[in-house]
């Protein structure tokens, strides 16, 4: 009897130890089908590591911004511009991985108009109302840099050549179609649909322009953690970094499986994912020297524009255990 009781106690202790040893990393990423594809292998157990569970969910941009400040998640996708802004308010962020790196053929950074709009060039945007999903985001900052550096626009929000208005991302296509705005920015899936439908056309290929201006692909978003959390559980966060990279690679190596599954779930053509990963953006899930330089340059341009007063050295905000490429 004693032996059975002891055995049961040891089994219970072992189970308890296993549960206690399992680490959970809560992750928030941009609410977009492309990012659902990047995390699909994690969410469906195709890539895993013993003792670590990744809980990933998508959030709209305003919620990502709010959650970055609240530290609700262990790892969060955030704008490159959020790093110096957070630091100026006493919140340090450490970059675990690059989340969005531009491609030369990208359309996710374009400015769009209706197909029958009289606006044909960047110069025609002067005096017009441009709808954007977030005035302070890195993506919109990069668009402003392109208009300023390549086309000579005064891109100030107050007294500039155009009127910039913030519109919820899901509402921008309807606002364009109904002439509530003259031009607008589209997020990833919207840009894909615009290309396919012909309802809208691009007048400023800002992502392409910025590769020329920066001399390297730009970086709009990164995955960050908080130094205190990283120091407390470094091995768990290292596991996250490995799993994130493995999940992205799984999607690229198994496109028929992943893109078909996410397309069905999100009611979007699986070809969207093939085109997005090939021509829109990269999700490196690692950090390159070029990424560090791109971060530094966007902060330098932003200070020149009066958006930032100060910024850190980009190399200093990269987590020491980040995967490098």
What's the rounded mean pLDDT across residues 246-270? 96
- For the chain, the domains span 2-101+219-317, 110-214
pLDDT band at 103 (very low <50, low <70, confident <90, very high): confident
Q: Tell me: pLDDT of 7 over 90.
A: no
> Which pair of structure tokens corresponds to residue 288?
């390159």
CATH superfamily of this structure's domain 2-101+219-317: Periplasmic binding protein-like II (3.40.190.10)
Using the structure block, give the residue that is written with the tokens 């007063």: 309
Q: Is the pLDDT of residue 6 over 90?
A: no
Extract the tokens encoding 287: 């950090």
Task: Please report where in the chains the tokens 């050549």 appear, as a residue.
Answer: 161
DSSP percent split of the chain into helix, strand, coil, nearest 5: 50, 20, 30
Each residue of 290-301: pLDDT tens digit? 999 999 999 999
Q: Closest Cα to residue 177, out of 116, 251, 234, 110?
A: 116
What's the whole-number mean pLDDT along residues 266-279?
A: 91
Cβ-proximal residues to 100 (8 Å cutoff; 6+ apart), any chain = 219, 220, 221, 281, 282, 283
Across the range 228-251, mean pLDDT stands at 98
Give me the sheet containing 75-79, strands edge to edge. 52-59, 23-30, 75-79, 219-225, 94-102, 281-282
The conformation of residue 318, written as its DSSP 8-state character, comes to B
Average pLDDT over residues 273-300: 95
For the chain, give the mean pLDDT.
Answer: 91
pLDDT band at 325 (very low <50, low <70, confident <90, very high): very high
Taking the C-alpha atoms of residue 108 and residue 279, their distance in angstroms, rounded to an integer, is 10
pLDDT tier at 231 (50, 70, 90 boundaries)?
very high
Strand partners, 214: none
Q: Are 92 and 86 in contact (CB under 8 A)?
A: yes
Give the C-alpha separation, 28 to 61, whole Å: 11
User: Is it the case that residue 307 has pLDDT exceeding 60?
Assistant: yes
pLDDT of residue 21: 61
Confidence of residue 192 (pLDDT cuts 50, 70, 90): confident
Q: What average pLDDT does the segment 196-224 reach?
A: 93
Mean pLDDT for 145-165 is 96
Which residue would you say has higher pLDDT here, 62 or 255?
Answer: 255
State the burial class of residue 142 (Cβ atoms within 10 Å of its Cβ: 0-12, 13-18, 19+): buried
Local confidence band at 158 (pLDDT 50, 70, 90 cut-offs): very high
Residue 1's pLDDT is what? 46
Residues in the chain: 325
What is the pTM (predicted TM-score) of this model? Answer: 0.86
Torsion angle (degrees, nearest 10) of CA 298, 223, 226, 166: 60
pLDDT at 321: 98
Half-sphere exposure of 271 (CA within 13 A, CB side): 4
Is the pLDDT score of 185 beyond 50? Answer: yes
- Six token digits for residue 150: 């390549």
Percent of the chain predicted with pLDDT > 90: 78
Confidence of residue 145 (pLDDT cuts 50, 70, 90): very high
Q: What is the 3-class SS of 75-97, one letter each residue?
A: EEEEECCHHHHHHHCCCCCEEEE
- Range 316-324 average pLDDT: 98
What's the average model confidence in pLDDT over 231-258?
Answer: 98
Q: What is 110-214's CATH topology?
A: D-Maltodextrin-Binding Protein; domain 2 (3.40.190)
Sign of CA dihedral 278, 279, 280, 281: positive
Of 60-64, 267-271, 315-319, give the range with the top mean pLDDT: 315-319
What is the percentage of the chain residues whose pLDDT exceeds 70? Answer: 93
Kindly give, in sequence order, each residue whose CB lies less than 8 Å from that of residue 299, ignoring residues fewer than 6 positions away.
Answer: 80, 81, 84, 308, 311, 314
Q: Is the pLDDT of residue 16 over 70?
A: no
- What number is the average pLDDT over the span 141-168? 95
Can you tell me whether residue 52 is helix, strand or coil?
Answer: strand
Indicate whether 18 pLDDT > 50: no
Confidence of residue 12 (pLDDT cuts 50, 70, 90): very low
**Phi and psi for 110 in degrees, rounded to 5?**
-80, 165
Phi, psi angles (nearest 5°) of residue 197: -85, -30
């Amino acid at each position: 009897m004693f032996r059975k009781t002891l055995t049961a106690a040891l089994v219970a202790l072992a189970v308890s130890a296993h549960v206690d040893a399992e680490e959970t990393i809560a992750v928030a990423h941009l609410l977009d089908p492309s990012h659902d594809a990047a995390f699909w292998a994690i969410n469906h157990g195709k890539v895993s590591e013993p003792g670590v569970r990744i809980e990933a969910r998508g959030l709209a941009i305003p919620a990502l911004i709010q959650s970055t400040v609240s530290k609700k998640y262990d790892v969060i996708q955030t704008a490159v511009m959020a790093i110096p802004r957070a630091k100026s308010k006493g919140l340090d962020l450490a970059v675990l991985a690059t989340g969005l790196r531009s491609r030369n053929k990208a359309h996710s950074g374009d400015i769009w108009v209706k197909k029958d709009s009289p606006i044909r060039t960047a110069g025609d945007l002067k005096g017009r109302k441009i709808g954007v999903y977030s005035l302070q985001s890195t993506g919109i900052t990069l668009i402003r840099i392109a208009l300023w550096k390549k086309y000579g626009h005064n891109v100030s929000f107050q007294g500039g050549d155009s009127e910039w208005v913030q519109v919820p991302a899901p509402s921008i296509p309807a606002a364009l179609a109904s002439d509530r705005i003259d031009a607008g920015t589209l997020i990833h899936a919207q840009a894909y649909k615009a290309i396919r439908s012909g309802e809208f056309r691009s007048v400023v290929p800002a992502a392409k322009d910025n590769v020329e201006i920066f001399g390297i692909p730009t970086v709009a978003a990164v995955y960050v953690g908080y130094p205190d959390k990283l120091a407390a559980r470094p091995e768990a966060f290292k596991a996250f970094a490995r799993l994130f990279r493995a999940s992205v690679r799984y999607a690229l190596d198994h496109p028929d499986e992943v893109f078909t599954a996410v397309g069905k779930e999100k009611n979007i053509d699986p070809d969207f994912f093939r085109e997005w990963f090939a021509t829109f953006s990269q999700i490196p899930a690692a950090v390159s020297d070029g990424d560090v330089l791109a971060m530094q340059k966007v902060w330098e341009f932003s200070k020149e524009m009066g958006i930032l007063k100060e910024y850190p050295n980009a190399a200093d905000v990269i987590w020491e255990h980040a995967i490098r490429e």
